[in-house]
Amino acid sequence: MSEVKKVIMLGNEAIARGAYEAGVKVSAAYPGTPSTEISENLVKYKDDLYCEWSPNEKVATEVAIGASVAGVRAMSCMKHVGFNVAADPAYTVSYMGVNGGLVIVVADDPGLYSSQNEQDTRMVARAAQLPVLEPSDSSEAKEFMKIAFDLSEKFDRPFVFRTTTRLAHSQGPVVLEDRVEPEDKPYERNPGKNVMMPGNAIKRHLHVEDRMNRLEKDGSDFAINKAEYNDTSIGFITSGIPYQYVKEVFPQASVLKLGMVYPLPKKLIEEFAKKVDKLYIFEELEPVIEEQVKAWGIECIGKEIFTRQGEYSANLLREK
């Protein structure tokens, strides 16, 4: 083990570092702010690592899927509107599952700094039944990438890794660690798993439901989903960059910080809700967490006072 080194990294640099440390061997991407610098940083690592700019996001995702089927850890990378282009293979690989770990990195753009819409990747991932991790700073960006690959292989699921413009271009301390070199998984001819003709796909759909239910149940024990109990008169459920605003404005409030934002850990959320007097859901863009929490019969306040538009801030939270 080499000497531990701590450096300051942008979020996109940290994502690239996390993929490198996780032992990724194939990365395919299509450029677009705020995701471009991930691949630009990843290509700097020369250790048994293939990186390409693909003709589009669909091809990038198919390249990564092929590498996963072959038995190596692989990723594709794009901005949020590119996820639409990749929808065809993304929905299908959800049924297939993985061999080597597979992560699709998608960068959202709340505030429309460089995009034509403000769509929320969590909505697309939920429709495709793809689990989603979302970090809140550069350190988590690196660590969550490693966790995403581990969970992908453990649960036989492709994972979506959601980032945003603010995280991508914010700096924070990151501890560098050695690259893990997982052994390549043997390729096994398995049409029932890898060829999604109707007769195979209908059986794989049952597998998807089973694995997503397991993720929901096991997620309550994941370290990346963390309840911080302080003053229980007010509680927040949040994730990603908005977590930083909650901690700045309400440092004494109780907070349930979600690292896995789909599927949601129902048991953990129910336990947290019972322990706080008033519950707020603070999430940028669409009420993905809020709608699920309310569907479970849990009273909470969300988009009644927080906007669905634009990027959040500490000042917005103070005002509301």
SS (H, E, C) 293-316: HHHCCCCCECCCCCCCCCCCCHHH
Verify cis geometry, omega within 30 degrees of 0, for the bond prior to 34.
Answer: yes
Question: pLDDT per residue over 188-213, tens digit each?
Answer: 999 999 999 999 999 999 999 999 99
Question: pLDDT per residue over 184-193, tens digit each?
Answer: 999 999 999 9
Mean pLDDT of 217-231: 97
Q: If pLDDT is split at 50, 70 and 90, which confidence band does 48 have?
A: confident
Q: What burial class does residue 191 get, using C-beta atoms within 10 Å of its C-beta: 0-12 exposed, 13-18 middle, 19+ buried?
A: exposed
Distance CA(170)–CA(137), nearest Å, equals 8
Q: In the chain, which ranges are E strands?
A: 5-10, 26-29, 50-53, 74-79, 102-108, 132-133, 159-164, 171-176, 226-228, 231-239, 253-258, 260-262, 278-282
Note whether 39 and 68 are within 8 A (CB): no
How far is CA 228 from its chain centroid?
A: 21
Q: If pLDDT is split at 50, 70 and 90, which confidence band does 2 have?
A: low
φ/ψ of 270, rounded to 5, equals: -60, -45
pLDDT at 1: 46
Mean pLDDT of 166-191: 94
- Read off the tokens for 84: 């639409």
Note whether 158 and 103 are within 8 A (CB): yes
Element (H, E) at 150: helix 138-155
Distance CA(144)–CA(215), nearest Å, equals 16
Unique residue bearing structure tokens 């998984």: 185
**SS3 at position 162:** strand
Mean pLDDT of 156-165: 97
Mean pLDDT of 84-105: 97
Note whether 90 and 42 are within 8 A (CB): no
Share of the chain above pLDDT 90, in %: 97
Q: Which residues, in sequence order, are CB contacts of 198 under 8 Å at separation 6+?
A: none
